Amino acid sequence: MAKPKVLVTRRWPAAVEAQLAEKFDVVLSNNDVALRPCEFREAFKDFDAVLPTVTDKIGPDALELTNPRTKLLANYGVGFTHIDLPRANSHGMVVTNTPDVLSECTADLAMTLMLMAARRAGEGEREIRAGRWTGWRPTHLVGTKVSGKTLGIVGFGRIGQEVARRAHHGFGMDIIVHNRSRVAPDILARFNAKQADDLDALLPQCDFVSLHCPGGAENRHLINARRLDLMRPGAFLINTARGEVINECDLVQALTFDTIGGAALDVFDGEPNIAQPLLDSDRLVMLPHLGSATAEAREDMGFRVMNNLEAFFNGETPPDRVN
Ligand code: DGY
């Protein structure tokens, strides 16, 4: 029987590409450039499965076609708000993602950002590299203590829980969570966490707020001027979720007028383009979407996609089906 024809849209870890090439009739990416909508439409006519990733926008224009050959979109990444699910459903396409395998590394990065923002690590590094450091002194780059403070976690799925584990058991932080559904008491008990009634109730209680909710239309600008005003004056906002969750203009205002202590972002609205006022803000730490960027997580994500592919082409329901 002919092997299923599979398209990978970007470069993947070498070990995963090698296994894909053994098991499938695979076309790998040579140039590592995101496909345009017209290229997706062509791909959907030719391939049994397309393996996109979080920077591939598969919106209405990419899915504007009849009778596609593609019946599986096996996404490399946990977030899938870049895929128009209703339209994929209308073509009978199954969509899968890669949960779990990146939770620990993304949580590690959220902690990195929290520490960097609170301890002014970005400012310090810039100072050394610019040759501006004049030596130790008691008032130099004084930051904010992290240990023992209160952390608000917005979205208490797998990544949010890994952040709670590190912050509570490693840094002795008190944990308050906001989640769209009630979190089971035994899960909260693992971190001695409380669930706030709503986001507005959580924000004024926290020294740090870390975002772990999905992106997309539902959570666009969840953090806006009104909610930034609800944060404590010295509090820090951390985002490793999706850029659109924060209204960046409102964040710039809050940083400019010192209504919060600072912020740290791994994700941006319209990335990789970064709004100039963000680049100009010294109170902001920024990383280029590195949440899952470890060799271990990136390989595991690829093998998780392979599990979904194999299940699908064996006639089973893929374990990470999202639609
Ligand atoms: C995801 O998987 O959704 C991340 O943003 C990339 O690791």
- Domain shared by 82 and 160, yes or no: no
Q: Which structural domain, as residue segments, surrounds residue 49?
A: 5-100+295-313
Q: At what angle do helices 295-313 and 103-118 cross, to 10 degrees?
A: 150
Give the residue among 108, 91, 57, 96 at the shortest CA–CA distance from 216: 57
Sign of CA dihedral 215, 217, 221, 222: negative
- Domain shared by 182 and 274, yes or no: yes
How far apart are the C-alpha atoms of 61 and 64, rounded to whole Å?
5
Give the residue among 36, 81, 30 at the shortest CA–CA distance from 54: 81
pLDDT tens digits, 82-95: 999 999 999 999 99
- Is residue 95 a part of any domain in this protein? yes
- Is residue 318 a part of any domain in this protein? no
- Is residue 57 a part of any domain in this protein? yes
CB 215 less than 6 A from any atom of ligand 1? no
CB 53 less than 6 A from any atom of ligand 1? no
CB 52 less than 6 A from any atom of ligand 1? no
- Domain shared by 117 and 241, yes or no: yes
pTM of the shown model:
0.96
Give the residue among 298, 258, 250 at the shortest CA–CA distance from 275: 250
| Contact of 118 with 146, CB cutoff 8 Å | yes
- Domain shared by 134 and 203, yes or no: yes
Q: Which residues of 109-139 are buried (b: 16+ CB within 10 A; e: fewer)?
A: bbbbbbbbbbbbbbbeeeeeeeeeeeeeeee
- Domain shared by 88 and 143, yes or no: no
Sign of CA dihedral 33, 20, 291, 221: positive
Question: What is residue 262's DSSP assignment?
Answer: E
pLDDT tens digits, 198-239: 999 999 999 999 999 999 999 999 999 999 999 999 999 999
Using the atom order of ligand 1, give the atom closest to the CA of residue 76: 2
Residues taking part in catalysis: 242, 271, 289
- Is residue 126 a part of any domain in this protein? yes
- Domain shared by 96 and 118, yes or no: no
* Residue 146 tokens, joined: 């992290």
- Is residue 206 a part of any domain in this protein? yes
CB 302 less than 6 A from any atom of ligand 1? no
Using the atom order of ligand 1, give the atom closest to the CA of residue 267: 5
- Domain shared by 119 and 137, yes or no: yes
How far apart are the C-alpha atoms of 128 and 134, rounded to whole Å?
9
Give the residue among 47, 42, 3 at the shortest CA–CA distance from 22: 3
- Domain shared by 301 and 281, yes or no: no
CB 159 less than 6 A from any atom of ligand 1? no
Closest-CA residue, ligand 1 atom 6, reads 77
Nearest-10 Cα torsion for 62, 67, 69, 72:
60
Using the atom order of ligand 1, give the atom closest to the CA of residue 301: 2
Confidence of residue 35 (pLDDT cuts 50, 70, 90): very high
- Is residue 320 a part of any domain in this protein? no
- Is residue 15 a part of any domain in this protein? yes
- Looking at the structure of the chain, the number of domains it has is 2
Report the pLDDT averaged over residues 121-125. Answer: 97
How far CA 137 is from CA of 115, 133, 143, in Å, comes to: 21, 11, 13
Residues 6+ apart with CB under 8 A from 81: 214, 215, 216, 242
- Output the domain CATH number for residue 150: 3.40.50.720
- H-run or E-run covering 157: none
CB 97 less than 6 A from any atom of ligand 1? no
- Domain shared by 139 and 46, yes or no: no
Mean pLDDT for all residues in the chain: 97
- Is residue 262 a part of any domain in this protein? yes
- Domain shared by 117 and 78, yes or no: no
| Contact of 58 with 32, CB cutoff 8 Å | no
Using the atom order of ligand 1, give the atom closest to the CA of residue 240: 5
- Domain shared by 189 and 213, yes or no: yes
pLDDT tens digits, 102-114: 999 999 999 999 9
Given a cut of 90, whether residue 1 has pLDDT beyond it is no
- Domain shared by 34 and 51, yes or no: yes
Q: How far is the CA of 173 from the centre of ligand 1 (A)?
A: 26
